[in-house]
Amino acid sequence: MAGHSKWANIQHRKGRQDKLRSKLFSKLAKEITVAAKMGDPDPDKNPRLRLAVKEAKSNSVPKDVIDRAIKKSQGGDAENYDEIRYEGYGPNGVAVIVEAMTDNRNRTASTVRSTFSKNGGNLGETGSVGFMFDRKGEVVYPADVADADTVMMAAIEAGAEDVQSDDENHVIYCADTDLNDVSNALEAELGESESTKLIWKPNMTTELDVDGLTKLMKLLDTLEEDDDVQRVTSNFEASDEVMAAFAEG
pLDDT digits (tens, 9 = 90+) for 116-162: 999 999 999 989 999 999 999 999 999 999 999 999 999 999 999 99
Q: What is the pLDDT of residues 53-67, one digit of tens each?
A: 999 998 889 999 999
Task: Give the per-residue pLDDT at 150.
Answer: 96
**Which residues in the chain belong to E strands, given as ranges?**
82-89, 95-102, 122-123, 133-142, 162-165, 169-175, 195-202, 206-207, 229-234, 236-237
Task: Give the per-residue pLDDT at 223.
Answer: 94
Q: What is the pLDDT of residues 158-203, one digit of tens each?
A: 999 999 999 889 999 999 999 999 999 999 999 989 889 999 999 9
Domains of the chain plus CATH, in order, are 17-74 (1.10.10.200), 82-131+204-248 (3.30.70.980), 133-202 (3.30.70.980)
pLDDT for residue 1 is more than 80: no
- Residues 91, 219 contacting (CB under 8 angstroms): yes
Comparing CA positions, the residue from 120, 48, 86 lying closest to residue 226 is 86
Q: What is the DSSP letter of 178?
A: G
Q: What is the DSSP letter of 223?
A: H
pLDDT > 70 in the chain, percent: 91
Task: Give the per-residue pLDDT at 8.
Answer: 52
pLDDT for residue 75 is more than 90: no
Given pLDDT bands bounded at 50, 70 and 90, which one contains residue 79?
Answer: confident
Supply the DSSP string of 100-131, one letter for each residue.
EEES-HHHHHHHHHHHHHHTT-EE--TTTTGG
Instruction: Give Rg (Cα) of the chain.
Output: 18
Helix (H) or strand (E) holding 224: helix 210-224
Task: Give the per-residue pLDDT at 18.
Answer: 61
Distances (CA, A) of 152 to 89, 141, 169, 199, 247: 35, 12, 13, 20, 32
| Residues in contact with 236: Cβ distance below 8 Å, sequence separation at least 6, in sequence order | 3, 90, 94, 205, 206, 207, 208, 212, 213, 216
Q: What are phi and psi of 165, to 5 degrees?
A: -110, 140
Question: What is the pTM (predicted TM-score) of this model?
Answer: 0.88
pLDDT for residue 10 is more than 80: no
Q: What is the DSSP letter of 15?
A: T
